[in-house]
A and B are shown apart, each in its own frame.
Chain A
Amino acid sequence: MIYMYKVAVVGDKDSILGFKALGIDAFPVIDKDEARRIVDTIARDNYGIIFITEQMASLIPETIERYNIETIPAVILIPSNQGTLNIGMDRINKNVEKAVGTNIL
């Protein structure tokens, strides 16, 4: 049987609501406790990819770090409507370096 994973997005309401139109489940959160709880809950609920705004992720670095070593779900950082903090791109660069041995981006 082909297993279908779901996709989620976590962040402040105004940044993420548009994702709903794409069929992605949006979870608006306000503070870090809520963010941590939501990420932990949905990680166990069949979500393959969790997008999270950089602003929110910067508040819960330990939680994000914890999912780095797990295959599923993949936690991906995206900029919010306040612009980017560059941590998302940094992470991608670091992963590319790990995979290829040099930064080819």
Chain B
Amino acid sequence: MDRMDYIQAVTRTRVLETRLLSRARLERMVDAKDMEEVFKVLGETEYANVMGGLTRDEEYEKILSSELKRVYKLMYEIARDRVVVDLLALKYDYHNLKVLIKEKLLQRDFEDMYISIGSMDFSKVKMDYLAGNFRDMDPKVREAIEEVEKDLEINEDPQRIDILLDKYYFEHLYKLAESTDIPLFIDYVKDLIDLTNIRTLIRVKKQNKDIKFLEEVVVPHGKIGKDDIVLALNDSTEGIAAKFKSFDVGPDIRKGLEAYQESNRLSEFEKLMDDYLMDINKPSKFVNFGPEPIFSYVLAKETEIKALRIIMVSKLNKLSPEDIRERLRDLYV
């Protein structure tokens, strides 16, 4: 990847960055008295283009998904190497794979569960899969599908579809990041894996599952060794926080676990997780030659859309502004 290839792409992204929602605008939406007011504020932003044809408040999801689709399409155009955007789009491919395999297994139509974003042409993957034609598929996807089908025959446990595909997703994601040789991307993936693993650890602990199950669901390639996480199963929450405090994600793990102990919920941990991953992207604002700003912008848009979804769902269910603020993620700008 030649950093000089990105001069124009970064310039275009800089312009787009100025249109990201500011904290102040989000605050106005948080304090809005109903959905109508939220839409009014949103209509003053770049979302105005995708707000047409909306008849009911409950259709907010349409706005958010068309905006996300628009961003991915645009950024694939802007980025010189698809892999920069692939890093964030890959999760939708694997989501679609889960839907596809379950659809075939149950012989039912889950058309509305598919997300039409992704690094590959999914309608082709779907056609090939249903026709039993695995030849043209990405070898990683092919391996994942074959492994899942083999496992289904032996274990007949649908939960294994998700477990195995998540594992292949992180494997695939790590390989993608590694191939770019960009420190931010590798760090992002490694930290994401660490945080996901710790969250898995807490959940497995809470469900009182055994160490064998944990070993199945913990993903390799993080900065924290897989064995260290597996062996932490019998540690107390304080013990876990102390054990991993020297890692990059250490301070956030500690804060997240403290919140978990208080509330017995992982929502605060997940918020800190998103905030941390946004935080390591902030230096991209000062990168002028290289793919980092493209990646960070897409992530910023995803975070922004997530924030809007939190606000809108909360407004529809009449949550108080304080409750919304507590859940809101940090923004890029």
Contacts and interface: CB of A to CB of B under 8 A. Distances in A.
Contacts of B316: 12, 14
B56 A14 contact: no
Interface string A9-38: 000111000000000000000110000000
Which residue, B58, B316, B318, has most C-beta atoms of chain A within 10 A? B58
A71 interface: no
Nearest to B313: A14
B123 interface: no
A82 B319 CA distance: 9
Given A13-B58, A30-B58, A82 B313 contact: no
Interface range on chain A (Cβ under 8 Å from partner) = under 10
A13 B317 CA distance: 10
A15 B222 CA distance: 37
Contacts of A82: 317-318
A81 interface: yes
A81 B317 contact: yes
Nearest to A13: B58
A30 B318 contact: no
Contacts of B56: 30-31
Contacts of B317: 14, 81-82
Contacts of A30: 56, 58
A30 B313 CA distance: 14
A56 to B, nearest CB: 13
Interface in B39-62: 56, 58
Nearest to A15: B317
Interface string B309-322: 00001001110000
A31 B55 CA distance: 12
Interface in A70-103: 81-82
Nearest to B61: A13
Nearest to B318: A82
Contacts of B318: 82
A32 to B, nearest CB: 13
Interface string B124-162: 000000000000000000000000000000000000000
A76 B56 CA distance: 27
Nearest to A31: B56
B158 to A, nearest CB: 13
Contacts of B313: 14
A38 B148 CA distance: 37
Contacts of A81: 317
B72 to A, nearest CB: 25
B187 to A, nearest CB: 35
A14 B310 CA distance: 12
Interface string B285-316: 00000000000000000000000000001001
A30 B56 CA distance: 9
B56 to A, nearest CB: 6
Contacts of B58: 12-13, 30
11 contacts: A12-B58, A12-B316, A13-B58, A14-B313, A14-B316, A14-B317, A30-B56, A30-B58, A31-B56, A82-B317, A82-B318
Given A13-B58, A82-B317, 10 more contacts: A12-B58, A12-B316, A14-B313, A14-B316, A14-B317, A30-B56, A30-B58, A31-B56, A81-B317, A82-B318
Interface of A: 12-14, 30-31, 81-82
Q: Which 4 A-B pairs have the closest CB atoms?
A: A30-B58, A14-B317, A81-B317, A30-B56
